[in-house]
Amino acid sequence: MLIKENIALSENGFVFNPSTGDSFTMNNTGKEVIMMIKEGKDLNRITELMAEKYDVDRNTLERYLADFLNDLNVYNLLEEEK
């Protein structure tokens, strides 16, 4: 799982996709997750780190992470899995 290389990501949570011209904003948790993906962390590690930081049960967390990743996919921000 990788964010497309050309995606511009700014500190304040603004995302720009140069190949489509779309721009996006994220909330804080969204920003954290996308940063961790960018750093190369895998889904298990991200889930672990989020669970440590936030008051949330494992099921809920996994469900909403999957949801978020699906959004990234729908918006064409992820590299296609090989």
Binding site for another protein (CB under 8 A): 8, 10, 12-16, 22-30, 32-34, 50, 52-56, 60-61, 63-65, 67-68, 70-72, 74-75, 77
Nearer to another protein, 12 or 82 (CB): 12
CB of 81 to another protein, least distance (A): 19
From residue 32, how far is each of 5, 60, 82 by CA, in Å? 18, 17, 25
Question: Cα 32 from chain centroid?
Answer: 7
Residue 7, Cβ neighbours under 10 Å: how many? 21
CB of 38 to another protein, least distance (A): 14
